[in-house]
Structure 1
């Protein structure tokens, strides 16, 4: 075994995580290499020191942890709903405004047309009479042509 691999697996040897073959190779390299043996002594000292200084690990019960997760999900869902709702409200208002304006324009044009007819009723009536007179004149002309033939 080479020094590089030996240094990489020192912690595995310390925690007894090596196969029997790897253990034999590791131990034989430590017996032959003073540098790796010294390095392993330092690693062992540090790991032993860490073993004595236990750090408390605070683990929340699963139900408390999941309640926090669900709360965060609800907050994000509300935010997404709000962000989607805001443009929807704006779009609805814009469409409603367009409909109201369209109805107003239609009503104005209808009123304008009716107003024109009401204001010019006499003229229109006279024009209709003139059209009828033209038709009568044309009818007289047709009858006279008929008599000629």
Structure 2
């Protein structure tokens, strides 16, 4: 398997969230596609949804991409507080783990402070300011 890439749904703030993620994780976005870019006779796009993100990607590391979209209004809203899936980031050092944890958790809610875990890693868990849950972990044995 080459990679598993998480895909997140947002309620109109995908671009804002991804600019925040890029400020912490670095990198450059892959092509950003907006709903208006896909509009045609068979796929009508409302004015409200025209500038929303249909697809955005942020490469992370060598073979992973964090992906997202805004949910168009005709599909309803996403309850971000009900989302219990987590994005796990495996850092290359304790220092990188701390940097990522502190950066991505800013403005969010820490569920488990970053510290030595009972299973031998350095890990922490939080929900970021966009409602997305993350685990940042460094395993010195890998």
Q: Which category describes the TM-score, using the shorter chain as reference length?
A: under 0.3
- Higher normalized helix content (fraction of residues): 1
Q: Which has the larger radius of gyration?
A: 1
TM-score with structure 2 setting the length: 0.18
- Higher normalized strand content (fraction of residues): 2
